[in-house]
Amino acid sequence: MKVALLGLGLMGLPIAHRLVHCGHELITWNRSKERLKTAQDEGLNVTPSLTEAVTAGEVLILTLSDAGAINQVLFDPSVKPLIRGKTVLQMGTISPDESRDIGASVVDAGGDYLEVPVLGSIPEAKSGELIVMAAGSESAYHQTLLMLRGLGKEVEHLGPVGKGAAVKLAMNQLIASLTAGFSQSLGLIRAEGVEVEQFMGLLRQSALYAPTFDKKLKKFMEHDYSNPNFPLKHLIKDIALFQKVAEASGMNGEVANAILRILRSGQEAGYGDEDYSSLYEAINPGFDAETDTGC
């Protein structure tokens, strides 16, 4: 299948490599020249011309940061007429309404639209073990199912456009709230000088344990959030989207609001481009390594 992938960021680049590994004919495009050069140096087929990429692909995969970026790229006057007859797979995390609007505009332009937000990050993208939450056009789903199975260990069709985006926001709300909840408990354990391993041993035996706690523990212990797979700034975007959707549906948005405030204070403290688990530092400010007996 001829595929054009637009957006070679943290997720786009490994997904592109995975598509090549699975035997797809791939052309890639990125707005900034630096990322395009990296992709080229890594052996990917790249073009600096957006219209060339869109013309070449039967399937267009969007791995762009947000709905604003998608609208700018896909509905640029030079690109929109080229969408006719193409299948658009939207992989970024956006809201159900944003996805429905983009989907409707794709269909208006004569294309087919499937939203396919994913759970998992760079390692899962590289190994083809993402969780793929497809929703939208059945024909686009069947056309691309084999390709999606190369990217994801779980590929499910969830219904009309918006359902995949909703499930993805629900998942990312859990990323934020589980990490915030664990950060609070771990902060208390360290402040009280309890042995962290003793606490973890008990937690692991309980129904409260989540694997993400151990995945992030080293970062919390070392206060090192560098080389992120998923930066804090993207989680802020996602929780802001969650909060908007939750409040519009009549839900009490206080929990999401509180988490969003914590995340934003982390960004103000300079953690925006660091791993999202740096929210630990916003919850436990004033940490002093000298007195942290829990390490």
CB neighbourhood size of 258 (10 A): 12
Q: Does 107 bind ligand NAP (CB under 6 A)?
A: no
Q: Does 10 bind ligand NAP (CB under 6 A)?
A: yes
Of 230, 242, 271, 280, which one interacts with ligand NAP (CB under 6 A)? 230
Instruction: Pick between residue 34 and residue 288 the one whose CB is nearest to ligand NAP.
Output: 34
* Contact between residue 44 and residue 20 where contact means Cβ atoms under 8 Å apart: yes
Of 35, 86, 190, 216, which one interacts with ligand NAP (CB under 6 A)? 35
Q: Does 72 bind ligand NAP (CB under 6 A)?
A: yes
* Contact between residue 94 and residue 240 where contact means Cβ atoms under 8 Å apart: no
Of 18, 20, 27, 63, which one interacts with ligand NAP (CB under 6 A)? 63
Instruction: Pick between residue 8 and residue 166 the one whose CB is nearest to ligand NAP.
Output: 8
| Site residues (CB under 6 A) for ligand NAP, limited to 140-169 | none
Q: In whole angstroms, give the CA distance from residue 169 to residue 211.
A: 19
Strand, helix or coil for residue 238: helix
Q: In whole angstroms, give the CA distance from residue 148 to residue 171.
A: 19
**Going by C-beta distance under 8 Å and a sequence separation of 6 or more, which residues neighbour residue 236?**
260, 263, 264, 267, 272
Q: How many residues bind ligand NAP (CB under 6 A)?
A: 25
* Contact between residue 5 and residue 12 where contact means Cβ atoms under 8 Å apart: yes
Q: Does 267 bind ligand NAP (CB under 6 A)?
A: no
Q: Which residues bind ligand NAP (CB under 6 A)?
A: 7-12, 30-32, 35, 63-66, 69, 72-73, 92-93, 118, 121, 229-230, 234, 238
